Structure 1
């Protein structure tokens, strides 16, 4: 039995190695190399101003972009960029402390993921304490709470649970980062338990997700949060974790149907299943990231999905303008049961909702 298990493990490792070295995700033409694209976007972020919620707190889209820039700096051993990103954060301990998000919402608590990533780089305990406070309060029911929040907490879920698909990036990113820096199993267990709940409650038979249960539209960036959240969680979830098979099944089902809806251009549309809708960059980049990670980890067929990922990256890069702003990014979008509403959403150049997943793809392709 032990010998068979060892053979299986070696086979899986060999398969992952072959997938990770797939030529479909290497040898990029001029202008498309992930290192060049990532460097341009990362340094552009360093020079940018903070993006705030109503002028008050750091926005989650900035945190997502910061995380991407930091991972890029680490992957490329760019010490100058690391120092610049650390220096950009330092005022949060003093002059800009008021910009720290409160710890009472999934979009705010995910800020802790950035502090935890910085701790992994610097080993400065200030980052660890800050990051864990955001991760832990996501599961600590506040004194002033609603009955629904207590009901979720009593079942072992985050009191911030709301069954919006965005949450499966916002919750999992901070809990997974806490697991990575502490090794404490409770954090990855939290993320996995929450993910299974959202899959069971929200995933449709075709593998995709409505923007909300009462809004029957497959909005690209909304589904993108699920694609990235599952890919990142599976990367760090132990092979023997009891929730892994369910999450892997949900991930593969989603990837299969995303591939079926990829346009001939390589992009995905603002409404995934509507061929007449416009091509949207942030969701497309998130789906591309899901493909790349799946190929590299051996969860997806390297030839089939590696080709789709390459086609998507080649389509995404031309949407970056001369100022290193990603164009055709749908602005922040609340739910609405109106198809035309999604067609008419404004598109911003340089919106951090788009800059972030481009950086994630660049890092993954390196």
Structure 2
């Protein structure tokens, strides 16, 4: 371990202990054996900080978020670190800023090259961690971060598209749009255009292109009867998972729709008030919210396969629930949704706390029942069947759940 990394680890450790030492009465817990266990994360903190500090405890090196054995530029660090940055802005606790910075510092070399990233892969997932650079560059003015952002933006300019202008999810998934892709790419693309594209015509073209992605997902992936959206759409209709008439995958996957909801509320933060597509996205969000609320379980949680809660093998899943909770809380707070959706968000949040959150003897918080991964196609082939979705790995503390949980906690001031 380098001196720099050692110092960073010590900084985090010191901060964790300092939190737990604010009130001596809360620092220890007596067990049945009359031994004491020191709390390293205070129960006096809000859930947002308790979960973030738990993530830092689990992954002291932010490049290893998502249970990685070696660093990789990917979307999951961008998700958790965006939440971490918001925590820093609220608390001014240097630990959070240092954790965000450490990822970018490790993954962007002195020339602005993004380690492990290949533009030629044309993978929308790789855009998401660009949000970290959008956050850091104005604060640091490090040219390497700007260079890396320019690289990611160049991918958006060269990304292959369907015949009507929808971004392929990845080069290896030709003619396919996935709900995931809108969250991975569009918040970054919109904010980059606003802050770094000087030519007004080019900027407007990017805004139009961003809105088009939502228009096309609504056109191709939304089920008119339920209002829910299918996980993927294949324009070529060649994939085994694709309906031969519509090109849609078979099911409404919780996290897929979670990605889409977060994409809408985050893009609306940046898209100019006078852009004609803004009203359409707000309309889509309201349609979405109505459909999602109809399939919310009495516990407040949502099922892995949203509309088939009574089917054997289905389960109430954490990551989608956290994403819906964030989407509804933010949508209502920002006025994109009626205020009544705050109650839906609060119900979802209570469901998470009561059913899927656990705290160990050291105060470390876990989010349980997270779907570890799900996709379509690939090798081995993922057929998008009900059995596929419910049999993918289930684990605790997947960053695709902990990140949205922190974001939801911030929106609800919990």
The verdict on a shared fold, with TM-score over 0.5 as the criterion, is yes
Confirm whether residue 65 of structure 1 aligns to residue 64 of structure 2.
no
Any conservation in 2 of the 1:227–1:287 contact (CA below 8 Å)? Answer: yes
Name the stretch that deviates more: 81-90 or 220-229.
Answer: 81-90
Confirm whether residue 77 of structure 1 aligns to residue 92 of structure 2.
yes
Shift, 1:262, TM fit: 1.0
Larger Rg: 2
TM-score (norm 2): 0.71
Structure 2 unaligned residues grouped into runs of 5+: 1-42, 170-174, 234-241, 243-248, 377-382
| Distance (Å, rounded) in 1 between the aligned partners of 2:168 and 2:396 | 35
Per-residue CA deviation, residues 66-97 of structure 1 (Å, 9 max, x unaligned), is: 22212221232222320232134312234996
Once the two structures are superposed, the pairs formed by residues 335-354 of structure 1 within 5 Å of their partners are 335=376, 336-354=383-401
Shift, 1:41, TM fit: 4.4
Tell me what 1:171 maps to: 185
| Distance (Å, rounded) in 2 between the aligned partners of 1:88 and 1:57 | 10
Confirm whether residue 201 of structure 1 aligns to residue 201 of structure 2.
no
Judged with a 3 Å threshold, the aligned counterparts in structure 2 of structure 1 residues 191 and 41 are, in CA distance, closer, same or farther, namely farther
| Distance (Å, rounded) in 2 between the aligned partners of 1:70 and 1:260 | 33
Tell me what 2:8 maps to: none
Higher relative contact order (CA 8 A, sep 6+): 1
Confirm whether residue 162 of structure 1 aligns to residue 209 of structure 2.
no
| Distance (Å, rounded) in 1 between the aligned partners of 2:389 and 2:168 | 30
Per-residue CA deviation, residues 302-329 of structure 1 (Å, 9 max, x unaligned), is: 1x21111111112213423334332111
Tell me what 2:261 maps to: 227
Any conservation in 2 of the 1:46–1:84 contact (CA below 8 Å)? Answer: no
| Distance (Å, rounded) in 2 between the aligned partners of 1:66 and 1:182 | 22
Confirm whether residue 307 of structure 1 aligns to residue 307 of structure 2.
no
Confirm whether residue 290 of structure 1 aligns to residue 319 of structure 2.
no
Any conservation in 2 of the 1:218–1:273 contact (CA below 8 Å)? Answer: yes
Shift, 1:249, TM fit: 1.4
Any conservation in 2 of the 1:110–1:170 contact (CA below 8 Å)? Answer: yes
Name the stretch that deviates more: 119-128 or 157-166.
Answer: 157-166
Q: RMSD across aligned C-alpha pairs, in angstroms?
A: 2.8
Any conservation in 2 of the 1:46–1:88 contact (CA below 8 Å)? Answer: no
Judged with a 3 Å threshold, the aligned counterparts in structure 2 of structure 1 residues 188 and 156 are, in CA distance, closer, same or farther, namely same
Shift, 1:55, TM fit: 5.8
3-state SS of the aligned residue for 1:334? coil
Shift, 1:50, TM fit: 4.3
Any conservation in 2 of the 1:169–1:228 contact (CA below 8 Å)? Answer: yes
Shift, 1:125, TM fit: 2.8
- Structure that is richer in helix per residue: 1
Name the stretch that deviates more: 278-287 or 192-201.
Answer: 192-201
| Distance (Å, rounded) in 1 between the aligned partners of 2:219 and 2:373 | 26
| Distance (Å, rounded) in 1 between the aligned partners of 2:89 and 2:284 | 30
Shift, 1:31, TM fit: 7.4
Confirm whether residue 241 of structure 1 aligns to residue 254 of structure 2.
no
3-state SS of the aligned residue for 2:211? helix
| Distance (Å, rounded) in 1 between the aligned partners of 2:130 and 2:192 | 9
| Distance (Å, rounded) in 2 between the aligned partners of 1:334 and 1:54 | 22
| Distance (Å, rounded) in 2 between the aligned partners of 1:111 and 1:39 | 17
Any conservation in 2 of the 1:116–1:181 contact (CA below 8 Å)? Answer: no
Tell me what 2:117 maps to: 101
Any conservation in 2 of the 1:331–1:345 contact (CA below 8 Å)? Answer: yes
Judged with a 3 Å threshold, the aligned counterparts in structure 2 of structure 1 residues 94 and 179 are, in CA distance, closer, same or farther, namely closer
| Distance (Å, rounded) in 1 between the aligned partners of 2:70 and 2:114 | 11
3-state SS of the aligned residue for 1:273? coil
Confirm whether residue 355 of structure 1 aligns to residue 402 of structure 2.
yes
- Structure that is richer in strand per residue: 2
Confirm whether residue 126 of structure 1 aligns to residue 144 of structure 2.
yes
| Distance (Å, rounded) in 1 between the aligned partners of 2:333 and 2:220 | 29
Per-residue CA deviation, residues 120-158 of structure 1 (Å, 9 max, x unaligned), is: 3333332122112202221126xxxxxxx3665xx6654
Shift, 1:242, TM fit: 1.3
What number of residue pairs does the alignment pair up? Answer: 327
Per-residue CA deviation, residues 219-261 of structure 1 (Å, 9 max, x unaligned), is: 1001111111111112222222111222111111010111111
TM-score (norm 1): 0.80
Tell me what 1:114 maps to: 132
Tell me what 2:56 maps to: 43
Judged with a 3 Å threshold, the aligned counterparts in structure 2 of structure 1 residues 179 and 324 are, in CA distance, closer, same or farther, namely farther
Name the stretch that deviates more: 209-218 or 256-265.
Answer: 209-218
